[in-house]
Structure formats: structure tokens, C-alpha cells
Amino acid sequence: MGLTIKEIAKLAGVSKSTVSRVINDAEHVSDKARKKVQQVIEETGYIPNSIAKDLKKNSTNSIGVIVPRINTSTISSAVEGISNIMYDNGYNLLLTNTRLDTEEEIKYLELLKEKRVSGILFFATEVTLKHLETLSKINLPVVVLGQDISEVIDFPCVIHDDFNSAKDIVKYLIKHGHQQIAYIGVQEYDVAVGQLRKKGYKEALRENSLEVPEEYLYKGDFSISSGYEGMKKIIESSQQLPTAVFAVTDSLAIGAIKYLKEQGYQVPEDISVVGIGNSDISSWITPELTTIDYDHLKAGEEASKILLKYINGDKFKGRLLIDYHIVERKSVKKI
């Protein structure tokens, strides 16, 4: 019997993921480690027989990862978590970027099936009937991140607690004396961000017997400019200015702060602002943004562990909720 990657790794004094990267001529391997692995392979006569193996089991040692955008810190952090687990287990990643295009998502689900990947990690935004039909026919282990569809289709889901995190950060504003709290959100085709975070906002207000005028509510897209436009519309249309703003993402919160500062308002002295996501830039803006921290790295790691078990015949049922906490910074004033 030939040597395994694990045995090669032990002989070379490196991790299995390093051996896998060397064999697949991947980046992110030091020259020293690459030399060690290549020397052991040469001395032992080890020949990776992945092609024959792949044909036999009708799959490759690859995992498909479908992301809606690649230029966000949340996605990059989750993908790092995925890489940590998958590379250590001898899998390569096939990363696809759909640019928030649902047709592209469906196309890539079908394409990854053709590429004979061992499984798919799917970062979902809008989940349509077409998505559900494609997923039901795909006949592959799939783990869905970001949306809970476990009740309508039998795939494991890894999600953040969007309802309670939104509710908690709005309650945080209320505890700091705020009663006029505006909302900058996204379209509700995105259940997690568009619907559940809005429900959390409204529930926090309801529990504290607070009403919200219609002019305090704005729905746009995920861009910073949408946060800017949302804040502009709220300020221009409100008879009484809000004392605080809850934006459903940090990007929207950053756009709102930019507009307020351009109009001469002080944050948080005049209007407090909070977001969700704890993006890389949130601690660098002025004032530093109070927000919700989701552990995206952990979400990527946990989703990968669930997928690996699924590939090996042990299927996780339902959904896994990832923890969150409020990160207090300088964008909220007590009144």
C-alpha cells in the first residue's frame, strides 16, 4: 500500500494542508516547506493517484464555494475559516463569485455538479423557487450559509441570529435613552438581512411601547451610497429628527454617518448610529462604529465541519446558530 498525504506530512514535518498545496502547485507555501515536501516525495517515490481515485468515486477532492461578493471582510473571513478546515482535510476550494446575481448562483450550482466536486458551501442571499428546485436535483452534499431554508429543503444551514442581534442593538439604543430611532435597511427578498433584522428592530420598539413614523424607514441595497441616500431621505422627510439610526449593515451605517457629517450634524452628539457586522473599517472611521460582531471565521469553520461529516455519510439536521455580541465604540451617546 502506498504512502498517504498524512504520512508524507509527518516525514516532511509539515501539515497535511501544506502537502496538499505542494502537490496541487498552490500558492501560500514557503520555499522551505515546499522543498521539504518535494524531497520526501522524491525519496519515497510517492505518486499522488488522485485522478484514478476521483474517477472511481465520481468526485474530486474539491469543494465548491459559492459567494455573492468577494470584496467584503465578512465573506473573506468566512472563506478563511473554510480554508482552515478544508485544506487540513486534503480538499481544494473552487471559489465562484456570483456578484449578487441569482441566475449566476443557479448556474454555478449546476456547473459545480458537472465539475464533480465532493460538496458545496453555498452563501445564499435570495432563495427562489428555482434555487430550491436546483438544490433538490443536485444530488450532492450542500451546506447553506446565511439563510435558514432548513424547513423547506433538507440541507443543513449555518446562520447568524439576525432577529435577536438586531433586537439587542436597538434595545441598546433604547437603554441609552433613545426613543426616536430610524431604520436603514435592504430589500426584503433577503430574508436574513431584509426581513429578520427589520423584525428585530420593530420588536425592540414594540416591547418598549415605542412607535416609528413611516418617514423613519428606508430600504435600499447593500452599498455605502445606499446608507448615504437613506439617511438623506430620512433627514429631509422627518418632521422630528431621529436621535438615533439603526442600519442593518456596517456599510449602510458608514454611508449614513458620511451624510450626517456633510450636513453639519455631529455623531453621536446630534444623532447616534449603529450597524451590524463589525467590518474591518468600522473601527477606523470617525467616530468608531458601535455594531454587532458576528464570528464569520467560526461560521466558515463550522459549515466546513458539517459538510465534511455530510460527505462521509453523517448528515447534520436543521440549522446551526452562530453567536454574536455587541461591540461598544463611540457612535452612541447616552441621552
* Domain residue spans of the chain: 5-48, 59-160+296-324, 162-293
Please state, in angstroms and rounded to a whole number, the distance separating the CA atoms of residues 288 and 329.
6
Q: Are 98 and 67 within 8 A, CB to CB?
A: yes
Q: Are 64 and 120 within 8 A, CB to CB?
A: yes
Q: pLDDT by residue (tens digit) across 221-255?
A: 999 999 999 999 999 999 999 999 999 999 999 99
Question: Residue 257's pLDDT is what?
Answer: 98
Please state, in angstroms and rounded to a whole number, the distance separating the CA atoms of residues 151 and 118.
24
* 92-97: strand order across its sheet: 92-97, 62-67, 119-123, 142-145, 157-160, 319-322
CATH number of 5-48: 1.10.260.40
pLDDT-derived band at 151, boundaries 50, 70, 90 = confident
327 φ, ψ (degrees, to nearest 5): -105, 110
Please state, in angstroms and rounded to a whole number, the distance separating the CA atoms of residues 158 and 144.
6
The reply to whether 5-48 and 59-160+296-324 are identical in fold is: no
Quick one: CA torsion of 101, 146, 299, 136, rounded to 10 degrees?
A: -80
Please state, in angstroms and rounded to a whole number, the distance separating the CA atoms of residues 197 and 246.
10
pLDDT-derived band at 97, boundaries 50, 70, 90 = very high
Q: Which residues pair with 120 in a beta bridge?
A: 64, 142
Output the CA torsion sign for 176, 177, 179, 184: negative
**Averaged confidence pLDDT in the chain:** 91
Q: Which residues contact 78 (CB under 8 A, 6 or more apart)?
A: 123, 145, 296, 297, 299, 300, 303
Whether CATH 3.40.640.10 fits 162-293: no
- The one-letter amino acid code at 16 reads K
Compute the average pLDDT of residues 117-130: 92
Q: Which residues contact 173 (CB under 8 A, 6 or more apart)?
A: 181, 244, 246, 272, 274, 332
Enumerate the H helices of the chain as residue ranges: 5-12, 16-23, 31-44, 50-57, 73-88, 102-114, 129-137, 162-175, 197-207, 224-237, 250-262, 296-311
pLDDT-derived band at 91, boundaries 50, 70, 90 = very high
- The one-letter amino acid code at 52 reads A
Q: Which of 15-19, 55-59, 289-293 has the lowest mean pLDDT?
A: 55-59
Q: Is the pLDDT of residue 321 over 80?
A: yes
Q: Which of 135-139, 144-148, 286-290, 301-305 has the lowest mean pLDDT?
A: 135-139
pLDDT-derived band at 56, boundaries 50, 70, 90 = very low
What number of other Cβ atoms are within 10 A of residue 76's Cβ? 17
CATH class of 59-160+296-324: alpha beta
